[in-house]
Amino acid sequence: MATENFDYIIVGAGSAGCVLANRLTEDPNVTVLVLEAGPGDRSIFIHMPSAFAYPLANDKFNWFYHSEPEPFMNQRAMYCPRGRVLGGSSSINGMVYIRGHALDYDGWASHAGLEHWSYADCLPYFRKAETRAKGGDAYRGNDGPLHVSTGACKNPLYTAFIQAGQQAGYAYTEDMNGFRQEGLGPMDMTVHKGRRWSTAMAYLRPAMQRPNLHVRTRALVTRVVTESSNKAPKAVGVEVVNGSTLDVLRANREVILCGGAINSPQILQLSGIGNPDELRSLGLPVVAALPGVGENLQDHLETYVQYACKEPITLYSAMNPWAKLKIGVEWMLKGTGLGATNHFESGGFIRSDAGVKHPDLQYHFLPMAISYDGSAPASFHGFQAHVGPMRPTSKGFVKLKSANPKDAPRILFNYMGTEQDRKEMRAGVRLTREIFEQAAFDRFRGEAVSPTAKVQTDDEIDAHIREHAESALHPSCTCRMGTDDMAVTDGSGRVHGVSNLRVVDASIMPDVVSGNLNAPTIMLAEKMADIILGRPSLPRSDAPFFVHPAYQTAQR
């Protein structure tokens, strides 16, 4: 058993951990250790954007979690991949860059103690993080580490989806991360010069040139080490298994958990921080009684609305071995072609009903019929829209299965557990069909594949969702910020009742935002870095945002 000392120990080299590693080591007098349970990120399947299904669908770079049988989803164990590699989930995700809606952050700020998380407070940190290929403005950054590009939409199906949306009465939005989220348009991706631009590429690698940053891979943190005196417990380090070695590494200032919505609550519970009854039942000592640890699990569920395509222009043509070889060679030699995109180049946000103030349904359009992780490709030319509710009312949990750190935790999402969620998903299916039935798709549209045209009633759509819907891979909120009895962290990410211990990742979101979570998590870490270092916050933004003027009476 060895002991080493650092100022800050960051657990997890994911989207938040890489940001903090970079920002904290800007101070040359600070020493930082980053511990990552997984390996390095050198694989071609990580860096080639179109190959993201490979790391997403196996356990080499992925915790490969599955939920317990979901009670409202035909008892299916739902797949929950989480990055276990430098860059974390930013190294295995679909690279979609979406910030969420301004009103999401204003909703955060409505909670006591979270007033500084409003959209006006967060927008400057989105801008700080970003360099947008099209240039910056009041909404978009121009000199940040995270490179963001916009889909070229060369395949005519991308344009058809946007045009069909307009024909159905929805607006065109040039930038759904700018003034107006609501509408359909081109989508942004974290791709730079044809390569995935993960947080490992954007933040960690540049910082690794600094002598005060230390990074260790294949290092599994088993618990946070705490000490108690007459005062509250204090985090003083972590216990780490690296191969056959057990080390205790000490943190002079803070231990910062950046393990994400599954692993951060797991580590807290293994450290004796959580629901006291559940901890005692596993023989774990109670260091801090925080019943909210692992509760409030929120995620986005989505379903695919798939049609056959009458013209052979879809990505199905790229699925044979020779085509893949050609795509791979072009990408390796030039960084261009079909290998240089995530293929989610158009999409959008709409409202499911009149009275909904900001969009509650999201679209990712794909010119192919295939599952997200590539596990179920179609055997024909087709296209699909991924659609799902943005603010689910169904909530789940992350709990320990045992006191063994190597056992995966119990995960239950309770997807579609409320009538509100089922209502929004039904609306999503019906509104998507309406878009695909517009004139813009007449030359392309074949028969409805999934759900078939026979699926029409509420009960039939519900049954289809139970059998076919999948996670959009946005787990969050299990260590949420707040001041009430079920809150785990305060507005600065500090764990209630334990000094020198902080959580910075998607788990501290009080509510999931309306969109993908990589960009919000990076923003959150950028903002937290200033808080941790005691630097003044960036000046608040006064940029306005769009809310449909007739949202109370009009659905579009």
Q: Which active-site residues does the annotation give? A: 474
Residues 6+ apart with CB under 8 A from 306: 369, 378, 382, 383, 384, 448, 449, 450
Burial category of 228 from C-beta neighbours within 10 Å (exposed 0-12, middle 13-18, buried 19 and up): exposed
φ, ψ for residue 227, nearest 5 deg: -130, 145
194 is in an annotated binding site: no
Question: Which residues are paired to 80 by β-bridges?
Answer: 65
CA–CA separation, 227 and 256 (whole Å):
16
85 is in an annotated binding site: yes
221 is in an annotated binding site: yes
Question: Which residues are paired to 275 by β-bridges?
Answer: none
189 is in an annotated binding site: no
Amino acid at 105: Y
398 is in an annotated binding site: no
Contact 456, 79 (CB under 8 A): no
Contact 93, 52 (CB under 8 A): yes
58 is in an annotated binding site: no
Q: How many CB atoms within 10 Å of residue 285?
A: 10
Phi-psi region of 257 (alpha: psi -120 to 50; beta: other; left: phi over 0): beta
Burial call 318-336: b when 16+ CB within 10 Å, e when fewer: beeeeeeeebbebbeeebe
Question: Which residues are paired to 245 by β-bridges?
Answer: 242
Helices 156-167 and 419-436, axial angle in degrees (round to 10) = 110
CA–CA separation, 316 and 367 (whole Å):
9
Q: In what order do the strands lie in the sheet with 295-297?
A: 295-297, 396-399, 410-412
Give the residue ranges of the annotated binding site for FAD: 85, 93-96, 221
